[in-house]
Amino acid sequence: VTSSTEQVFWFPCSSEVLFSGARTEVPGCSPQPQIRGQSSLFIALYAFTARSADELSISAGDKLRVLREEGDYVLARRLLGEPAMGYVPAAYVANLSQGSSAHRPWYFSKISRSEAEQLLLSPPNQHGSFLVRDSESNKGEYSLSVRNHAKVSHFRICKSPGGSLYIQKGHPFPDMEELLAFYTENWKVIQSPLLQPCSPTVDGWERPRWEFTLRRKLGEGYFGEVWEGLWRNSVPVAIKIIKADMKAEDFTKEIQNLKRLRHEKLIQLHAVCSLDEPIYIITELMRKGNLHSYLNRKSLGTSHLLNIACQVADGMRYLEEKHIVHRDLAARNILVGEELTCKIADFGLARLLKDDIYSTSSSTKIPVKWTAPEAANYRTYSLKSDVWSYGILLYEVFTYGQIPYEGRAGGPLQGYRLPRIMLECWSGNTEERPTFLALREKLGFIYRPGDADSFNPS
């Protein structure tokens, strides 16, 4: 995923990424162009249910005007029915002006027989949902899987030497579309009605595991290993593989938090594979790893360090607006991408604050050196305890990864304004600690945008 004009889009079934894989081999299917451009008319390929207030629920076939592309999402306006606007995954829509007639929503290429059954038997799929997949046993041939009430029937689609396709010998079709059209019309022949193409997801985030390949281990945390991987052999992603012995309620919090948050300074969830083990959490890939290790390079100037501090404050300001307390803010939980882009990660401990303060009696491990005294001693977490941690993070950033002793700035830190900001963050009285909004403003006075914009080390 690169610049705004050259984006590779996420999610299946509409982009070049997908069609450059096995889908191109389907008879009658030609590669579909990638979604580009801002102003053309789009069509919804699948139903998508909004998962947060800024998303737009769409039904397959809805006509949409795309106003803006943002990463793997587009901001779209529905053209008919009740006027509504919001984000939808880019790959759930296709640009009508770019030949979306090539789209085959029923084709699921490498999905296995058991995965097809699992998908067809899960909501929102229902009686009559069907898909075509590559045959597992006969290379180059296909299988048709159809949900028939509570069970799934599979039909082998054979290929004759001349390339025609058939389910019943002596009844060939020139391509898959004609074959499906025939059995849609004459469903009694196979005793399974073909009513609608299978919907690709169980919820908006679930994806079949075969779409992901692991390439290189990046690190390991409490929940399991993190790998660099590829989605559909094309799109680079980060895949967290949850350890088998993890309790579901522990990491599902992280997934739930990721699902409802969307901000350019927060790590973006792409998908999950949670129908069987091991569970995968797929997020955007941040190629430079975590900020703590990155800081050891020491090739960063003050303006770059300030730029980092501002980016983290931007992300935290968003969490502040949403009344979400992170609880584990530290350089090790900030991830670094190209051009010094920083994003906040690790929402495993994050909580929505019902009041202003969250308290816990649980014995969750506490990162003491980053934790405000009231949170460490009494487990009372608030956005103000995040502000304390942010002060420690500032210290880490400006000392290239060191940790202050007992919350005191000084030592290697030079100058006046930054230590003062840190000391405000470490005020014993939570009320005296600044908000992230105020912190961002203060840093804005020190950091002039553009100072570090030319940053581009290898």
Ligand X SMILES: Nc1ncnc2c1ncn2[C@@H]1O[C@H](COP(=O)(O)OP(=O)(O)OP(=O)(O)O)[C@@H](O)[C@H]1O
Minimum Å gap between C-beta 187 and ligand X is: 45
Q: Contacts for 256-264 with beta carbons within 8 Å, 24 or more apart?
A: 257/324, 257/347, 257/350, 258/283, 258/347, 259/51, 259/52, 259/205, 260/51, 260/52, 261/318, 261/319, 261/322, 261/324, 261/347, 262/52, 262/54, 262/73, 262/87, 263/314, 263/315, 263/318, 264/314, 264/343
List 328, 346, 356, 386, catalytic entry: 328
Decide whether 8 or 413 has the Cβ nearer to ligand X.
Answer: 8
The reply to whether 240 sits in an annotated binding site is yes
Intra-chain end-to-end CA distance of the chain, in Å? 18
Minimum Å gap between C-beta 209 and ligand X is: 18
Q: Is 378 in the site for ligand X (CB under 6 A)?
A: no
Question: Which positions from 314 to 343 touch ligand X by CB under 6 A, shown as an x/- string?
Answer: ------------------xx-x--------
Give the count of beta carbons closer than 10 Å to the beta carbon of residue 321: 11
Task: Candidates 7, 95, 257, 290: give the one binding ligand X (CB under 6 A).
Answer: 290
Interior CA angle at 173 toward 167 and 177, to 5°? 95
Q: Is 286 in the site for ligand X (CB under 6 A)?
A: yes
Task: Candidates 14, 109, 283, 430: give the one binding ligand X (CB under 6 A).
Answer: 283
Give the count of beta carbons closer than 10 Å to the beta carbon of residue 1: 18
Query: Among residue numbers 210 through 269, which ones bind ligand X (CB under 6 A)?
Result: 218-223, 226, 238, 240, 267
Decide whether 88 or 349 has the Cβ nearer to ligand X.
Answer: 349
Q: Is 440 in the site for ligand X (CB under 6 A)?
A: no
Name the residue number minimizing CB distance to ligand X. Answer: 221
Decide whether 283 or 303 has the Cβ nearer to ligand X.
Answer: 283
Size of the residue set binding ligand X (CB under 6 A): 21
Decide whether 124 or 236 has the Cβ nearer to ligand X.
Answer: 236
According to DSSP, residue 195 is labeled: -
Decide whether 21 or 221 has the Cβ nearer to ligand X.
Answer: 221
Q: Is 373 in the site for ligand X (CB under 6 A)?
A: no
Query: Among residue numbers 95 through 124, which ones bind ligand X (CB under 6 A)?
Result: none
Question: Which positions from 406 to 425 touch ligand X by CB under 6 A, shown as an x/- string?
Answer: --------------------
Estimate the crossing angle of helix 383-398 against helix 436-446, to 10 degrees.
30
Minimum Å gap between C-beta 1 and ligand X is: 12
351 neighbors 325 (Cβ within 8 angstroms):
yes
Amino acid at 177: E
d(CA 84, CA 80): 9
254 neighbors 328 (Cβ within 8 angstroms):
no
Q: Which two tokens stand for residue 280?
A: 């995968």
Residue 212's nearest CA partner among 267, 268, 114, 281 is: 281
Q: How far does CA 275 lie from the centroid of its chain?
A: 17
d(CA 272, CA 311): 27
> Coil, helix or strand for 113?
helix
Decide whether 44 or 334 has the Cβ nearer to ligand X.
Answer: 334
Tell me, yes or no, if 276 is annotated catalytic.
no
Minimum Å gap between C-beta 334 and ligand X is: 10
Task: Candidates 285, 291, 350, 372: give the one binding ligand X (CB under 6 A).
Answer: 285
Minimum Å gap between C-beta 281 and ligand X is: 9
Minimum Å gap between C-beta 34 and ligand X is: 23
Greatest alpha-carbon pair distance for the chain in Å reads: 86
User: Which range touches ligand X (CB under 6 A), out of 28-36, 130-138, 345-353, 435-443?
Assistant: 345-353
Annotated active-site positions, please?
Answer: 328
Query: Which residue positions form the known binding site?
Result: 240
Binding site for ligand X (CB under 6 A): 218-223, 226, 238, 240, 267, 283, 285-286, 289-290, 332-333, 335, 345-346, 348
